[in-house]
Amino acid sequence: MELWFSEYHSQYAKFSIKVKEELFNKKSDYQHVVIMDTFEFGRVLVLDGYLMVTEKDEFIYHDMIVHVSMAVNPDAKRILVIGAGDGGSIRELCRYSTIEHIDMVEIDPMVVEACKQHLPRTACSFDDPRVHLYFEDGLKFVRRKQNEYDLILVDSTDPFGPGEGLFTREFYGNCYKALNDRGILVNQHESTFYDEYVDKMRHVQHMLKEIFPKVYVYQAHIPTYPSGHWLFGYASKYYDPIKDLQAARWNGLGIKTKYYNTELHLGCFALPNYVKELLSCNE
Protein backbone atom coordinates (compact mmCIF):
# COMPACT_ATOMS: atom_id res chain seq x y z
CA MET A 1 0.00 0.00 0.00
CA GLU A 2 1.23 3.45 -0.87
CA LEU A 3 0.38 6.62 1.07
CA TRP A 4 0.52 9.89 -0.85
CA PHE A 5 -0.04 13.44 0.26
CA SER A 6 -1.32 15.80 -2.42
CA GLU A 7 -1.69 19.55 -2.40
CA TYR A 8 -3.56 21.51 -5.03
CA HIS A 9 -1.22 24.08 -6.52
CA SER A 10 -4.08 25.35 -8.59
CA GLN A 11 -7.59 24.08 -9.13
CA TYR A 12 -6.20 21.90 -11.91
CA ALA A 13 -2.66 21.04 -10.79
CA LYS A 14 -1.59 18.78 -7.94
CA PHE A 15 1.72 18.20 -6.21
CA SER A 16 2.14 14.81 -4.53
CA ILE A 17 4.73 13.29 -2.25
CA LYS A 18 4.93 9.77 -0.93
CA VAL A 19 4.38 9.48 2.79
CA LYS A 20 6.33 7.21 5.10
CA GLU A 21 4.41 7.85 8.28
CA GLU A 22 2.03 10.30 9.90
CA LEU A 23 3.54 11.77 13.08
CA PHE A 24 1.01 14.37 14.21
CA ASN A 25 -2.58 15.03 13.20
CA LYS A 26 -4.78 17.35 15.24
CA LYS A 27 -7.16 20.25 14.77
CA SER A 28 -6.31 23.37 16.73
CA ASP A 29 -8.60 26.34 17.36
CA TYR A 30 -7.26 27.83 14.14
CA GLN A 31 -6.28 25.12 11.70
CA HIS A 32 -5.63 21.48 10.94
CA VAL A 33 -2.04 20.67 11.94
CA VAL A 34 -0.29 17.66 10.38
CA ILE A 35 3.33 16.52 10.47
CA MET A 36 4.37 13.58 8.29
CA ASP A 37 7.58 11.82 7.45
CA THR A 38 8.06 11.51 3.69
CA PHE A 39 10.51 9.64 1.48
CA GLU A 40 11.75 12.52 -0.64
CA PHE A 41 11.40 15.59 1.57
CA GLY A 42 11.91 14.22 5.07
CA ARG A 43 9.53 15.51 7.70
CA VAL A 44 6.97 18.01 6.51
CA LEU A 45 4.55 20.40 8.25
CA VAL A 46 1.12 20.77 6.63
CA LEU A 47 -1.45 23.36 7.77
CA ASP A 48 -5.01 23.14 6.47
CA GLY A 49 -3.75 20.94 3.65
CA TYR A 50 -0.97 23.32 2.55
CA LEU A 51 2.70 22.36 2.79
CA MET A 52 4.46 24.88 5.01
CA VAL A 53 7.87 23.37 5.67
CA THR A 54 9.83 20.37 4.47
CA GLU A 55 13.14 19.30 5.96
CA LYS A 56 14.65 19.09 2.51
CA ASP A 57 14.03 22.62 1.25
CA GLU A 58 13.28 24.70 4.35
CA PHE A 59 16.82 26.11 4.28
CA ILE A 60 15.97 28.10 1.17
CA TYR A 61 12.96 29.82 2.66
CA HIS A 62 14.58 30.51 6.02
CA ASP A 63 17.85 31.75 4.53
CA MET A 64 15.98 34.12 2.30
CA ILE A 65 13.49 35.50 4.79
CA VAL A 66 16.26 36.27 7.32
CA HIS A 67 19.67 36.93 5.74
CA VAL A 68 18.70 39.37 2.98
CA SER A 69 17.64 42.09 5.40
CA MET A 70 20.32 41.18 7.95
CA ALA A 71 22.98 41.75 5.29
CA VAL A 72 21.48 45.18 4.58
CA ASN A 73 21.41 46.10 8.24
CA PRO A 74 23.78 43.86 10.23
CA ASP A 75 23.24 46.21 13.17
CA ALA A 76 19.64 45.06 13.61
CA LYS A 77 19.27 44.27 17.29
CA ARG A 78 15.57 44.14 18.04
CA ILE A 79 13.55 41.84 15.82
CA LEU A 80 9.89 40.95 15.63
CA VAL A 81 8.90 37.72 13.92
CA ILE A 82 5.24 37.10 13.16
CA GLY A 83 4.08 33.58 12.41
CA ALA A 84 6.98 31.18 11.93
CA GLY A 85 5.68 28.56 14.35
CA ASP A 86 8.06 25.96 12.89
CA GLY A 87 10.98 27.90 14.40
CA GLY A 88 13.11 28.04 11.24
CA SER A 89 13.23 31.83 11.05
CA ILE A 90 14.33 32.31 14.64
CA ARG A 91 16.89 29.52 14.22
CA GLU A 92 18.55 31.63 11.52
CA LEU A 93 18.19 34.87 13.50
CA CYS A 94 19.77 33.29 16.58
CA ARG A 95 22.95 32.74 14.61
CA TYR A 96 23.65 36.47 14.83
CA SER A 97 25.34 37.14 18.17
CA THR A 98 24.68 40.86 17.59
CA ILE A 99 20.91 40.42 17.86
CA GLU A 100 19.75 41.29 21.35
CA HIS A 101 16.04 40.66 21.43
CA ILE A 102 13.61 38.61 19.36
CA ASP A 103 9.84 38.76 19.88
CA MET A 104 8.06 35.95 18.14
CA VAL A 105 4.28 36.12 17.80
CA GLU A 106 2.52 32.98 16.64
CA ILE A 107 -1.24 32.64 16.86
CA ASP A 108 -1.36 28.88 17.23
CA PRO A 109 0.44 27.21 20.16
CA MET A 110 -0.26 23.79 18.67
CA VAL A 111 2.03 24.50 15.70
CA VAL A 112 4.94 25.29 18.01
CA GLU A 113 4.22 22.26 20.21
CA ALA A 114 3.97 19.89 17.26
CA CYS A 115 7.16 21.25 15.67
CA LYS A 116 9.10 21.04 18.94
CA GLN A 117 8.14 17.37 19.10
CA HIS A 118 8.51 16.36 15.48
CA LEU A 119 10.48 19.00 13.58
CA PRO A 120 13.58 19.54 15.73
CA ARG A 121 15.56 20.63 12.70
CA THR A 122 13.69 23.94 12.61
CA ALA A 123 12.21 24.11 16.11
CA CYS A 124 15.59 24.20 17.83
CA SER A 125 15.97 27.80 19.06
CA PHE A 126 12.88 28.41 21.16
CA ASP A 127 15.03 28.10 24.30
CA ASP A 128 17.45 30.83 23.27
CA PRO A 129 17.22 33.48 26.05
CA ARG A 130 16.83 36.25 23.48
CA VAL A 131 13.64 34.70 22.11
CA HIS A 132 10.35 35.82 23.67
CA LEU A 133 7.41 33.81 22.47
CA TYR A 134 3.86 35.21 22.42
CA PHE A 135 0.80 33.26 21.37
CA GLU A 136 -1.56 35.87 19.98
CA ASP A 137 -2.83 37.53 16.82
CA GLY A 138 0.11 39.29 15.16
CA LEU A 139 -2.15 42.17 14.20
CA LYS A 140 -3.04 42.76 17.82
CA PHE A 141 0.56 42.46 19.04
CA VAL A 142 2.01 44.90 16.55
CA ARG A 143 -0.76 47.46 17.09
CA ARG A 144 0.55 48.14 20.59
CA LYS A 145 4.17 48.73 19.53
CA GLN A 146 5.76 51.99 18.50
CA ASN A 147 9.30 52.67 17.28
CA GLU A 148 10.59 49.44 18.81
CA TYR A 149 12.07 47.21 16.13
CA ASP A 150 14.88 47.27 13.58
CA LEU A 151 13.36 44.44 11.61
CA ILE A 152 9.96 42.76 11.30
CA LEU A 153 9.71 39.39 9.55
CA VAL A 154 6.24 38.28 8.52
CA ASP A 155 6.54 34.53 8.11
CA SER A 156 2.85 33.91 7.54
CA THR A 157 0.56 31.33 6.01
CA ASP A 158 -1.50 32.16 2.94
CA PRO A 159 -3.70 35.28 2.74
CA PHE A 160 -6.87 33.25 3.24
CA GLY A 161 -7.20 31.60 6.64
CA PRO A 162 -5.68 32.52 9.99
CA GLY A 163 -3.00 34.61 8.27
CA GLU A 164 -5.49 36.83 6.47
CA GLY A 165 -5.04 39.79 8.79
CA LEU A 166 -1.31 39.83 7.97
CA PHE A 167 -1.97 40.90 4.38
CA THR A 168 -3.91 44.07 5.19
CA ARG A 169 -3.23 47.78 5.12
CA GLU A 170 -3.91 48.07 8.84
CA PHE A 171 -1.26 45.44 9.54
CA TYR A 172 1.41 47.05 7.36
CA GLY A 173 0.57 50.48 8.79
CA ASN A 174 0.93 49.18 12.31
CA CYS A 175 4.24 47.53 11.35
CA TYR A 176 5.44 50.90 10.05
CA LYS A 177 4.57 52.40 13.40
CA ALA A 178 6.29 49.56 15.29
CA LEU A 179 9.54 49.95 13.32
CA ASN A 180 12.16 52.58 14.12
CA ASP A 181 13.15 55.16 11.51
CA ARG A 182 15.54 52.77 9.80
CA GLY A 183 13.29 49.75 10.11
CA ILE A 184 12.83 47.00 7.52
CA LEU A 185 9.79 44.80 6.95
CA VAL A 186 10.16 41.48 5.11
CA ASN A 187 7.09 39.45 4.29
CA GLN A 188 6.18 36.16 2.69
CA HIS A 189 4.81 37.32 -0.66
CA GLU A 190 3.36 34.17 -2.30
CA SER A 191 3.93 33.52 -5.99
CA THR A 192 2.55 35.01 -9.18
CA PHE A 193 2.75 31.94 -11.39
CA TYR A 194 -0.74 30.64 -10.67
CA ASP A 195 -3.58 33.16 -10.80
CA GLU A 196 -5.06 32.52 -7.39
CA TYR A 197 -3.09 35.05 -5.32
CA VAL A 198 -2.05 37.49 -8.06
CA ASP A 199 -4.71 40.12 -7.33
CA LYS A 200 -4.08 39.89 -3.62
CA MET A 201 -0.33 40.26 -4.03
CA ARG A 202 -0.71 43.16 -6.43
CA HIS A 203 -2.83 44.82 -3.77
CA VAL A 204 -0.18 44.04 -1.12
CA GLN A 205 2.49 45.76 -3.25
CA HIS A 206 0.22 48.74 -3.72
CA MET A 207 -0.44 49.04 0.02
CA LEU A 208 3.23 48.68 0.96
CA LYS A 209 4.21 51.39 -1.53
CA GLU A 210 1.71 53.77 0.01
CA ILE A 211 3.19 53.21 3.45
CA PHE A 212 6.97 52.68 2.98
CA PRO A 213 9.34 54.80 0.87
CA LYS A 214 11.39 51.81 -0.35
CA VAL A 215 9.49 48.75 -1.51
CA TYR A 216 10.91 45.79 -3.47
CA VAL A 217 10.16 42.18 -4.23
CA TYR A 218 12.80 39.44 -4.29
CA GLN A 219 12.66 35.82 -5.26
CA ALA A 220 13.86 32.36 -4.31
CA HIS A 221 13.44 28.89 -5.75
CA ILE A 222 11.62 26.63 -3.36
CA PRO A 223 10.72 23.30 -4.97
CA THR A 224 7.78 22.35 -2.73
CA TYR A 225 5.89 25.66 -2.96
CA PRO A 226 3.40 26.12 -5.81
CA SER A 227 5.33 26.73 -9.05
CA GLY A 228 8.63 26.51 -7.15
CA HIS A 229 9.15 30.21 -7.73
CA TRP A 230 8.58 32.11 -4.53
CA LEU A 231 8.56 35.81 -3.68
CA PHE A 232 9.34 37.91 -0.64
CA GLY A 233 8.43 41.53 -0.01
CA TYR A 234 11.04 43.99 1.21
CA ALA A 235 9.88 47.35 2.58
CA SER A 236 12.04 49.83 4.41
CA LYS A 237 11.91 53.33 5.79
CA TYR A 238 15.58 53.96 4.99
CA TYR A 239 17.75 51.18 3.57
CA ASP A 240 17.91 50.36 -0.12
CA PRO A 241 18.30 46.58 -0.34
CA ILE A 242 20.97 46.75 -3.06
CA LYS A 243 22.84 50.01 -2.59
CA ASP A 244 23.00 49.53 1.14
CA LEU A 245 24.06 45.87 1.05
CA GLN A 246 26.98 45.45 3.46
CA ALA A 247 28.52 42.48 1.66
CA ALA A 248 31.99 42.60 3.22
CA ARG A 249 30.62 43.09 6.68
CA TRP A 250 28.11 40.27 6.35
CA ASN A 251 30.70 37.90 4.91
CA GLY A 252 32.96 38.85 7.81
CA LEU A 253 30.40 37.44 10.22
CA GLY A 254 31.25 33.98 8.96
CA ILE A 255 27.66 32.74 8.95
CA LYS A 256 27.65 29.61 6.83
CA THR A 257 24.55 29.30 4.66
CA LYS A 258 23.41 26.69 2.20
CA TYR A 259 21.42 28.97 -0.17
CA TYR A 260 22.06 32.64 0.53
CA ASN A 261 25.23 34.50 -0.44
CA THR A 262 25.90 38.14 -1.16
CA GLU A 263 26.13 37.67 -4.95
CA LEU A 264 22.76 35.94 -4.92
CA HIS A 265 21.51 38.86 -2.81
CA LEU A 266 22.02 41.20 -5.77
CA GLY A 267 20.51 38.71 -8.20
CA CYS A 268 17.39 37.91 -6.24
CA PHE A 269 16.03 41.41 -6.80
CA ALA A 270 16.27 40.89 -10.57
CA LEU A 271 12.81 39.57 -11.37
CA PRO A 272 11.33 37.95 -14.46
CA ASN A 273 9.44 40.41 -16.66
CA TYR A 274 6.03 38.83 -16.08
CA VAL A 275 6.42 39.22 -12.33
CA LYS A 276 7.51 42.84 -12.64
CA GLU A 277 4.55 43.55 -14.84
CA LEU A 278 1.99 41.73 -12.70
CA LEU A 279 3.13 43.37 -9.49
CA SER A 280 4.37 46.68 -10.96
CA CYS A 281 7.43 46.30 -8.78
CA ASN A 282 11.23 46.81 -8.78
CA GLU A 283 11.01 49.45 -11.53
Partner 1 sequence: MNYTQQNTPIHEALMKLRKNRTVHFDVPGHKGERGIPELTAFLGVDCLKTDVNSMKPLDNLIHPVGVIKAAEELAAEAFRAKAAFLMVNGTTSAVQAMIMSTCKAGDKIIMPRNVHRSSINALVVCGAIPVYVNPGVNERLGIPLGMPMEELEAAIEANPDAKAVMVNNPTYYGICSNLPQIVKLAHQHNMKVLVDEAHGAHFYFGDGLPISAMDAGADMSAVSMHKTGGSLTQSSFLLCNNDIDPSYVRQIINLTQTTSGSYLLMASLDIARKYMYFNGKEVVRKILELSEYARGEINRLGGYYAFSTEIVDKNATFDFDRTKLSVNTIEIGLAGIEVYDLLRDEYDIQLEFGDIGNFLAVISAGDRLFEIERLISALSEIKRIYGKERVGMLSHEYIEPEVVFTPQKAFYHDKKSVLLEDSIGHIAGEFVMCYPPGIPILAPGERITKEIVEYIRYAKEKGSSITGPKDMNIEYINIIDF
**Catalytic positions, please?**
155
Q: Of 76 and 110, which CB lies nearer to partner 1 in the complex structure?
A: 110
- Residue 74 as a binder of partner 1 (CB under 8 A): the answer is no
* Distances in whole angstroms, Cα of residue 252 to Cα of each of 74, 248, 256: 11, 6, 11
Sheet holding 3-10, edge to edge: 3-10, 13-27, 32-38, 42-47, 50-54
Write down the least CB distance from residue 283 to partner 1, Å.
24
Q: Of 171 and 230, which CB lies nearer to partner 1 in the complex structure?
A: 171
CA–CA separation, 1 and 113 (whole Å): 30
Write down the least CB distance from residue 139 to partner 1, Å.
5
Give me the sign of the Cα torsion angle 134, 135, 138, 139.
negative
Question: Mask of contacts with partner 1, 219-258, x by CB under 8 A?
Answer: ----------------------------------------
Strand partners, 211: none
Question: Mask of contacts with partner 1, 137-176, x by CB under 8 A?
Answer: x-xx-xx------------------x-xx--xxxx-xx--
Q: Of 20 and 237, which CB lies nearer to partner 1 in the complex structure?
A: 237
Residues contacting residue 64 through CB under 8 Å, at least 6 positions apart: 218, 220, 232, 259, 260, 268
Binder among 20, 177, 202, 237 for partner 1 (CB under 8 A): 177
Q: Of 160 and 274, which CB lies nearer to partner 1 in the complex structure?
A: 160
Angle at the Cα of 258 from the Cα atoms of 253 and 262, rounded to 5 degrees: 50
Write down the least CB distance from residue 150 to partner 1, Å.
20
Write down the least CB distance from residue 111 to partner 1, Å.
16
Question: Mask of contacts with partner 1, 195-214, x by CB under 8 A?
Answer: --------------------
**Residues found in the chain:** 283
Write down the least CB distance from residue 282 to partner 1, Å.
25
Shortest CA distance to 169 belongs to which of 206, 215, 216, 198? Answer: 206
Q: Of 20 and 203, which CB lies nearer to partner 1 in the complex structure?
A: 203
Q: Of 41 and 141, which CB lies nearer to partner 1 in the complex structure?
A: 141
Shortest CA distance to 45 belongs to which of 102, 106, 96? Answer: 106
CA–CA separation, 178 and 61 (whole Å): 24
Question: Mask of contacts with partner 1, 94-133, x by CB under 8 A?
Answer: ----------------------------------------
Angle at the Cα of 103 from the Cα atoms of 99 and 108, rounded to 5 degrees: 140
CB 65 within 8 A of CB 232: yes
- Count of residues that interact with partner 1, criterion CB under 8 A: 15
Residues that bind partner 1 (CB under 8 A): 137, 139-140, 142-143, 162, 164-165, 168-171, 173-174, 177
